[in-house]
Structure 1
């Protein structure tokens, strides 16, 4: 299935993954969920046992949230929080051994095995409901203590 074949999914909708044709189809018989959770059923095929699949939401042609190993006849329920989280990761590694972390846990695990050190600031949360027109997040570093300070303000158009 290519990205061109996918349609935008409204929050709270229920979808069926049809293994026979490897397509997604909205299930109009199910009411929209008020909490915005997406539900995707790995529907049992007409013939054969079906298979376990990974189901995900994509944004701008990239995986956004993935629910791995969804069994046949079961739902993946994916809720997109209306929040952003920020943190700063400062790490040092031995010469020639650069760490490119994709997630914090990977960074922490790498530091155990490479002798590198890492510092992670406290996770900062921004509730996007408070910024319906977008948010501008600014990071500054306090000169005396070297601590990082996050500030969020409405995005100007």
Structure 2
């Protein structure tokens, strides 16, 4: 199971941008999801995926403008897959972000060949975004321009 380094996961948790599930007899990590803030600074788009601690610092100090969130890195350990846990984690983090940051769009970028994740997004009510809708939702900022060819993009609507 893919895992973030503990200090990186802690940074997301400290800022309310991750949900984790601990379970089993040995209380191991069963699953997690994180939301990456996307900021604009000096006409550049940066994501917390690049350097979370720096991005969180820049947002807190007003050094970068928060423009969106990308909910990703949703991972569930194999014995727990197929039970809706990943969908529940994704909904929890989206609801939390929507209440903490009203008006900031929340997106999910899914590889176009990842059929289970596409189905999960659709079943959870996330809205599929065409390239035109995406440009309208992001004021034409082009934050996902490099991703739209190989990915499917959804938006969470509270």
Asked whether the two chains share a fold, i.e. TM above 0.5, the reply is: no
Report which of the two has the higher share of strand.
1
Report which of the two has the higher share of helix.
2
